[in-house]
Structure 1
Amino acid sequence: MSDEVGLEKRALRAELRERRRITTATGRAEANAAITTNLRALATQFEARTLSAYLSIPDEPGTRDFLAWACAEGITVLLPVSRPDGLLDWALYDGEEEFEDELGMPAPTSEPLSPNALDDVDLIIVPAASVDRTGMRMGWGRGYFDKTLGSMQQRPPVYAVIFDDELVDAVPSERHDQRVDGVVTPSGIVAL
């Protein structure tokens, strides 16, 4: 990573973390309800029978209500499990128990599948710090999702979940950073 781009990314991530941190409980609840509605519409639009997503943590846009809906609808849900080598394994999620993986992120308790488990999903939903209008996604700096998306030979639609003000004109990027096909925000679904 070039020093200049690295500094830009760190500064933007710090700003976004602070914005997320100071969001009111009411504002967060309203945003999460709207995101759930929009994620359900996205899964329906793509007629997803299998998808990959992630269990949101408190400061992230909420995915948990959507995942509960997907499980109740009989949609097969795969969630990431971090590995020490920087790759992601995937595990089936049933909406029940979870644990903390190598990075302290929530993950399902089912037996991990290989990184290749994503080959057959209909839709991929990823976290992001910010996404620009060309679809360039900026994550939180560990590169797990960039490695995963960059290694796929055939990729289904990939949508990042962000708050409205995190869809911006441009984000600092490097060659390894991966684009997404769209974003889901409280205001709606935006194809990029």
Structure 2
Amino acid sequence: MTDPVDTQKRALRAELRERRAQLPQAARDAAAQGVSDQLDSLVASVGAHSVSCFISTPTEPGTRDFLTAAVRRGIRVLLPVTRVDGLLDWAVATDDENVAEGLFGLPEPTGELLGPIAVNDVDLMIVPAAAVDGTGMRLGWGRGYFDKTIGSMEKCPPVYAVVFDSEILDEVPRDRHDEPVDGVVTPTRTITFAAARR
């Protein structure tokens, strides 16, 4: 029997992927600069000394400039590395951008691997998303890695998803295992939700 929520999610993800694929390069470059500025301000406002983030793909809102600048400023940045068991290992980012293709073809760091609990030490989590709604519910890309990580943390720090401005929606389909985020970062703004989690 087909799960109606799963069907809705698949359709929405396909639509959002298509939209992202059609963005011109100039718009991607401008978005990357905007995201970098917004993330810099967020890190400063949280007072974060250690953050987790992700290496953006060519169609995602760009995080690479932010990552390089953060590492050079002395911020400890953990990057996710996917595992076959559905958990995430972590590697400390360096400013030389040594990346390789990970389990699902996504860019991942090549440094020394830390176990899943390494993320418990960060002050701020920055996660990818397909979309986020006004209540802080995040639609991921369907593999559940970040939902599982956020849901298993005893003391979860603030979690912010990164999306394009058009990907803040009125509502996204949700399952019981889906974890909301505390805020969303776009190329033009950062929104903190009132009481999404905890």
TM-score (norm 1): 0.97
Within 2, Cα distance between the matches of 1:2 and 1:149? 27
Q: Matched residue of 1:125: which SS?
A: strand
* 1:19 paired to 2:19: yes
| 1:137 paired residue number | 138
Q: Matched residue of 1:77: which SS?
A: strand
TM-score (norm 2): 0.94
Q: Matched residue of 2:43: which SS?
A: helix
| 2:150 paired residue number | 149
Within 1, Cα distance between the matches of 2:102 and 2:34? 28
Identical-pair percentage: 55
Select between 102-111 and 18-27 the one with higher mean Cα deviation.
Answer: 102-111
Within 2, Cα distance between the matches of 1:27 and 1:107? 24
Cα deviation digits, residues 23-64 of structure 1 (max 9, x gap): 111111111111111011001111111000000000000000
| 2:179 paired residue number | 178
Cα distance, 1:2 vs. partner?
A: 6.2
For these two proteins, the number of residue pairs brought into alignment is 192
Q: Which ranges of structure 1 fall in alignment gaps of 5 or more residues?
A: none
Within 1, Cα distance between the matches of 2:27 and 2:93? 28
Q: Which ranges of structure 2 fall in alignment gaps of 5 or more residues?
A: 194-198
| 1:42 paired residue number | 42
Q: Matched residue of 1:159: which SS?
A: strand
Segments of 4+ in structure 1 off by > 4 A? none
The one-letter code of the counterpart of 1:185 is T
CA RMSD of aligned residues (A): 1.1
| 1:122 paired residue number | 123
Cα distance, 1:110 vs. partner?
A: 1.2
Within 2, Cα distance between the matches of 1:20 and 1:30? 14
| 1:31 paired residue number | 31
Cα distance, 1:104 vs. partner?
A: 2.0
Alignment of structure 1 residues 100-119 onto 2, 5 Å: 100-119=101-120
Q: Matched residue of 2:112: which SS?
A: coil
Q: Matched residue of 1:170: which SS?
A: coil
